[in-house]
Chains A and B, each alone.
Chain A
Amino acid sequence: MILHFLTQAVFWFLVILTVGSAIVVVFNKRILHSAFALLFTLCGVAGLYVFLSADFLAASQMLVYVGGILTLIIFGVFLTARMYNMSIPEQTHQRFLALLPVLGLGGIIFYVLNSAEWHLITPMVAPTTENLGKMLLTTYLVPFEVASMLLLAALIGAIRLARPRKEDHDD
């Protein structure tokens, strides 16, 4: 009974953490506070993955999103020149026009949530790593390799763009 209650409490804590910090991300006027609030959203989602017994996915969420993408976002904010003087739009314009895509997207999400057939499965405690590894190297080998090629190309492209051009120095 207590165990069940504790599990529920942790689950709801994670839900509130995820949604609450996501609201802060959207509504906070200071861009860096938004970025740091995103940390709690990402951690909350990782916690929810653990509830879905997706251990590998949860760790990947932490590694890729917190360790990689969030750090990149924060670096981006840090390195933005004249961060303090920049006027970041803080008002909401064109409320009625914005309502259209919001309602549209909301409707689509609502429709999908309603029409999808949800399969309730009993949570497995079995590790997922082995199956994931096998599937990545058999069934999903081609998408996996295509994705890694794409990332490699993006990496080389980024280095090419960031490098100072020769002709700039010659001029």
Chain B
Amino acid sequence: MIALEPYLDLIISVVYVVGIVLFLSLFALFATWLERKVAGHIQDRLGPMETGGWHGWLQPIADAIKLLIKEDIIPAAADKKLFKLAPYLVFIGSLAGFAVLPFAANLIGSDLNIGVYYVIAVTSLVVIGILMAGWASNNKWSMYGAMRSAAQMISYEIPVALSLLIPVMMAGTMSMVEIVDNQAGGFWNWYVFRTMPFSLIAFVIYFWASLAEVNRAPFDLPEAESELVAGYFTEYSGIRWAMFFLAEYGDMFVVSAIAATVFLGGWYAPFPFLDIIPGPIWFIGKTAFLVFVQMWLRWTLPRLRVDQLMYVCWKIFLPFSFANLLLVGLWVVLKG
């Protein structure tokens, strides 16, 4: 028997990483099913009903098997190396965000001192991956999709970062666990409801801007199916396409989880007496609710035009974010 103790950290890390990958895959499966059901009911139809019997619950698994055994097509004119590499980059950028999500006080990949900043930094990889996919496909639609996506993600990174700064300023730390701990004891302590209305404005700006960050409707111009077929992943099929899809749903989870962490009290229950329900359930529940709102918006709102997209970012979100930042700064100073 080898003494395991020195390697305990290592083993826990490996188990956690494997767990997160599994969680991400399961979440993506569930989310595709939910998306179809939400879309169906909003459009006054039922969505998948056949596969598996109860409300088509096996549909995502059937889809996953289909994607796994599908032929992997690489266009003859594509830049093959970059074409193969791009889905991995996008997926890594999405997965890396999970490292700092606090499912509970002790259930976190790494409670980095720079947690919030880290998430904003690693999402840069996604932009590069998308640009790479668009270029390597050697296709006009892919190229336009990639350019739009990169322009959009870079622009909206600024309001996202500025609105995330507000809870960071209120908590005085960028560590995810400490930010959540500062919101303990009931929903009136959550940052979204403190310093009304400034933090509420920050939350709203964050939520909208994060929709643009993950290329979801009404900001889904990069993959606008009515004009660009599927944008930057037009040429992808099978498992490589599935990786883009996985990354998109992973990103949806990450941005919603960050909103739940820094604005909605993370793993804490809305009322202290409900704390008997374990933290991860609250955390995943809040996140899943925000993911549901993202889907709800997608099937409700029309797509923006490019100029409207830039107008909203630079002329509405940005000035409001800056004013917000100054006022919350004043609040923090006055409160001492």
Q: Does B58 contact A (CB under 8 A)?
A: no
Q: Does B124 contact A (CB under 8 A)?
A: yes
Could you count the A-B residue pairs with CB atoms below 8 Å apart for me: how many are there?
Answer: 68
Q: Does A66 contact B (CB under 8 A)?
A: yes
The answer on a CB contact under 8 Å between B6 and A36 is no
CB under 8 Å from chain A, chain B span 68-85: 81-82, 85
The answer to whether A71 and B114 touch (CB under 8 A), given A3-B6, A36-B82, A63-B120, is: no
Q: With a CB–CB cut-off of 8 A, which chain A residues contact B150? A: 71, 74-75
A110: min CB distance to chain B, Å = 34
Question: Which partner residue on chain A sits nearest B147 by CB separation?
Answer: A78
**1/0 contact trace for B113-152 toward A, CB 8 Å?**
1100110111111011001100100000001000100100
Give the docked Cα–Cα distance between A87 and B82 (Å): 22
Q: Does A152 contact B (CB under 8 A)?
A: no
Q: With a CB–CB cut-off of 8 A, which chain B residues contact A78? A: 131, 135, 143, 147
Interface of chain B, main secondary structure: helix
Q: Which of A54-62, A88-96, A115-123, A160-168 is the contact stretch?
A: A54-62
A126: min CB distance to chain B, Å = 9
The answer on a CB contact under 8 Å between A127 and B121 is no
Q: Does B7 contact A (CB under 8 A)?
A: yes
Give the docked Cα–Cα distance between A116 and B62 (Å): 63
Q: Does B10 contact A (CB under 8 A)?
A: yes
Give the docked Cα–Cα distance between A98 and B183 (Å): 62
The answer on a CB contact under 8 Å between B10 and A3 is yes
Q: With a CB–CB cut-off of 8 A, which chain B residues contact A63? A: 117, 120-121, 124
**1/0 contact trace for A66-84 toward B, CB 8 Å?**
1110110011001000000
The answer on a CB contact under 8 Å between A36 and B132 is yes
Partner pick for B10 among A6, A75, A127, CB 8 A cutoff: A6
Q: Does B277 contact A (CB under 8 A)?
A: no
Partner pick for B135 among A3, A32, A68, CB 8 A cutoff: A32
Q: With a CB–CB cut-off of 8 A, which chain B residues contact A127? A: 113-114
Q: With a CB–CB cut-off of 8 A, which chain A residues contact B120? A: 63
CB under 8 Å from chain A, chain B span 212-259: none
B interface with A by C-beta (< 8 Å): 6-7, 10, 81-82, 85, 89, 112-114, 117-118, 120-125, 127-128, 131-132, 135, 143, 147, 150, 154, 157, 174
Q: Which 3 A-B residue pairings sit nearest by Cβ, starting from the closest?
A: A67-B124, A127-B113, A62-B121
What are 9 inter-chain pairs, A to B, with CB distance below 8 A?
A: A3-B10, A36-B132, A59-B121, A63-B121, A71-B128, A71-B154, A74-B131, A74-B150, A127-B113
